């Protein structure tokens, strides 16, 4: 069988030189179209253009120059988008930061990206961790939220400055965003993404999904990560469509919005679909079928796909992406959406399956590392040549660290990861980072952190700890983590053992721990240290 085409023909739109050009093109063409609806307020393309260019004027007044990095520590709201576009108008590079990050994580990102400013919203300005992290590095924190209209708040924040600026042109090769993503060493690294990475990919993705200006996206994903930003926001801008933006995902509110019948597209992580399904069952109501449901960022169980189709009347399109390469593969809009498969490469993305050590191609049908090449693939990690060279094979292909195979019809299947990564509710957690935090606690001799299956989150973070003394307690260790790292990284359970299983080389055998935890009577104690 021939694989169905993964994309529709390009509808003849020329590719703009930059994300801001893409936005300007739409704002000029349909200035009065609604761009974002948020908590009952509508913002048109013209209004967003006006506010963001004024914001850019303020940024220039604050000393931001082309190429500078500007951090955004903000929850979803039109203000985020305004700030993001403002940064891009000045020719600077946006550094979106997960608002769940705590002091050490924030200090690392702000310092590593060497940002000129940290822009925050109302919640961010009350967040001590971000203000302390920035203060330690001597970086100003600028609150963009206040009373009244956005323009006023921006202007007030910068005293008398009210001028719009001459937009700084950018081209495909220039950086638009540095997005931090966790690394195996326990420290996050900045993936450098250019205007061209985003634009070539968003053209392919929106083409493949039949996305037009008539679409209305319901977006509850955080804008500070790739799924929300690189697909949700950029796709809306690229097609000149509109979105209903939510501060966060909340299943009752999302369900109400779907019932209202305006939404044509909803993008989420599998946890969101699982919760929506429960909500639908609880209410015994069915919203009208939605043109396009997309799931990604974590594996979608075939049962969830089938259940959602049965209950919500729309079959999810599963796709596979990554911070370093935006969107890689997806099931087709019109052909078969195969359960358990992430589908076919998006236009322009070349995919090969190779041995993760030698980078040699493996026989078709066999499992190997998914490796990528194409205009979507990032330029490398910011100021980290070592991590960059480790991420690419010698012949230039990007090593995703995901393991998969291609079936006889050309559909790709992800079966695991060569990188030690836990994906919990669509957020990534690298075990080493959590282990290091645990091992800094006086009562911990050593710790092993792993992901175990979880019906809601897909995987849940669990720690196995060798205590130094009898004073260790699970609650204390969980609190210790909560204070130091983002809440989604903290272990849900702590198990205590006398020693960790190791192989002949001294490496902790996590698969043994996983098996022990999965058995009904694990040889490891649950929440309390051994007497």
Using CB under 6 A as the criterion, which residues of the chain lie in contact with ligand MLC when the complex forms?
Answer: 221-222, 225-228, 248-249, 269, 271-272, 296-297, 321-323, 424-427, 457, 482, 487-488, 490
Q: Which residues, in sequence order, are CB contacts of 45 under 8 Å at separation 6+?
A: 23, 26, 27, 30, 31, 32, 33, 35, 240
Rule CB under 6 A: say whether 269 interacts with ligand AMP.
Answer: no
Write the DSSP symbol of residue 525: B
Q: Residue 38 touches which of ligand MLC, ligand AMP, none (CB < 5 to 8 A by kind)?
A: none
Closer to ligand AMP by CB, 144 or 191: give it: 191
Which range binds ligand AMP by CB under 6 A, 75-83, 320-328, 381-389, 466-474?
320-328
Closer to ligand AMP by CB, 55 or 299: give it: 299
Taking the complex as a whole, the smallest distance from the CB of residue 439 to ligand AMP amounts, in Å, to: 24
Q: Which residues, in sequence order, are CB contacts of 95 under 8 Å at separation 6+?
A: 69, 70, 71, 72, 109, 113, 115, 177, 178, 179, 180, 190
| 431 burial level (CB within 10 Å; 0-12, 13-18, 19+) | buried
Q: Work out which of 131, 181, 188, 271 binds ligand AMP, going by CB under 6 A.
A: 181
Closer to ligand AMP by CB, 414 or 464: give it: 414
Rule CB under 6 A: say whether 472 interacts with ligand AMP.
Answer: no
CA nearest 431: which of 494, 489, 485? 489
Q: Work out which of 87, 226, 292, 497 binds ligand AMP, going by CB under 6 A.
A: 226
Q: Residue 400 touches which of ligand AMP, ligand MLC, none (CB < 5 to 8 A by kind)?
A: ligand AMP
CA nearest 402: which of 453, 456, 451, 351? 351
Taking the complex as a whole, the smallest distance from the CB of residue 162 to ligand MLC amounts, in Å, to: 35
Pairing of strands 69-73, 93-96: parallel
CB distance 94 to 25 below 8 Å:
no
422-451 residues in contact with ligand AMP (CB under 6 A) are 423, 428
Taking the complex as a whole, the smallest distance from the CB of residue 134 to ligand AMP amounts, in Å, to: 24
Closer to ligand MLC by CB, 142 or 423: give it: 423
Rule CB under 6 A: say whether 400 interacts with ligand AMP.
Answer: yes
Write the DSSP symbol of residue 282: H
Q: Work out which of 47, 251, 369, 402 binds ligand AMP, going by CB under 6 A.
A: 402
3-state secondary structure of 119: strand
Closer to ligand AMP by CB, 73 or 320: give it: 320
Distance CA 255, CA 249 (A): 10
Distances in Å between the Cα of 499 and the Cα atoms of 445, 495, 520 are 10, 11, 20
Distance CA 192, CA 175 (A): 7
3-state secondary structure of 209: coil
Q: Work out which of 98, 323, 331, 341 binds ligand AMP, going by CB under 6 A.
A: 323
Q: Residue 271 touches which of ligand MLC, ligand AMP, none (CB < 5 to 8 A by kind)?
A: ligand MLC
Distances in Å between the Cα of 199 and the Cα atoms of 31, 54, 213, 462 are 21, 24, 17, 39
- In the complex, the residues that contact ligand AMP under the rule CB under 6 A are 181, 226, 296-299, 318, 320-323, 342, 400, 402, 414, 417, 423, 428
């Amino acid at each position: 069988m021939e694989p169905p085409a993964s994309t529709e023909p390009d509808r003849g739109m020329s590719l703009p030189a930059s994300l801001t050009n893409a936005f300007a093109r739409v704002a000029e063409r349909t200035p009065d179209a609604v761009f974002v609806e948020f908590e009952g307020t509508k913002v048109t393309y013209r209004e967003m253009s006006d506010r963001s260019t004024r914001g850019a004027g303020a940024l220039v007044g604050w000393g931001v120059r082309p190429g500078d990095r500007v951090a955004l520590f903000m929850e979803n709201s039109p203000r985020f988008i305004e700030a993001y576009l403002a940064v891009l108008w000045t020719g600077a590079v946006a550094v979106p930061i997960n608002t769940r990050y705590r002091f050490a994580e924030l200090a690392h990102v702000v310092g590593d990206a060497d940002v000129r400013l940290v822009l925050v919203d109302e919640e961010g300005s009350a967040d001590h961790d971000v203000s302390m992290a920035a203060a330690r590095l001597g970086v100003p924190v600028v609150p963009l939220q206040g009373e009244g209209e956005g323009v006023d708040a921006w202007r007030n924040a910068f005293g008398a400055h009210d001028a719009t600026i001459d937009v700084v042109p950018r081209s495909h090769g220039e950086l638009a965003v540095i997005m931090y993503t966790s690394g195996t060493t326990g420290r996050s690294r900045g993936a450098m993404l250019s205007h061209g990475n985003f634009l070539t990919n968003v053209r392919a993705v929106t083409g493949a999904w039949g996305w037009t200006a008539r679409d209305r996206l319901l977006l509850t994903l955080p804008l500070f990560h790739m799924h929300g930003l690189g697909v949700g926001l950029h796709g809306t801008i690229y097609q000149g469509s509109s979105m209903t933006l939510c501060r966060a995902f909340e299943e009752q509110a999302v369900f109400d919005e779907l019932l209202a019948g305006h939404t044509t597209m909803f993008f989420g992580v599998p946890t969101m679909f699982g919760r929506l399904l429960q909500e639908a069952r609880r209410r015994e109501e069915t919203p009208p079928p939605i043109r396009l449901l997309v799931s990604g960022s974590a594996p979608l169980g075939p049962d969830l796909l089938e259940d959602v189709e049965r209950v919500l009347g729309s079959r999810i399109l599963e796709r596979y992406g990554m911070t370093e390469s935006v969107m890689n593969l997806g099931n087709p809009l019109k052909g078969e959406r195969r359960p358990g498969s992430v589908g076919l490469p998006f236009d322009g993305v070349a995919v090969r399956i190779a041995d993760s050590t030698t980078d040699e191609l493996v026989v078709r049908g066999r499992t190997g590392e998914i490796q990528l090449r194409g205009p979507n693939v990032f330029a490398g990690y910011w100021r980290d040549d070592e991590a960059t060279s480790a991420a690419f094979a010698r012949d230039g292909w990007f090593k995703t660290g995901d393991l998969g195979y291609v079936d006889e019809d050309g559909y790709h299947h992800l079966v695991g990861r060569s990188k030690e990564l836990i994906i919990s509710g669509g957020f990534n957690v690298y075990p080493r980072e959590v282990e290091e935090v645990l091992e800094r606690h006086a009562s911990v001799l050593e710790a092993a952190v792993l992901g175990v299956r979880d019906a809601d989150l897909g995987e849940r973070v669990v720690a196995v700890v060798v205590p130094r003394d009898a004073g260790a307690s699970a609650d204390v260790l969980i609190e210790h983590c909560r204070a130091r790292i983002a809440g989604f990284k903290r272990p849900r359970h702590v198990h205590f053992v006398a020693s960790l299983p190791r192989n002949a080389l001294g490496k902790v055998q996590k698969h043994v721990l996983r098996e022990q935890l999965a058995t009904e009577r694990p040889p490891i104690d649950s929440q309390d240290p051994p007497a």
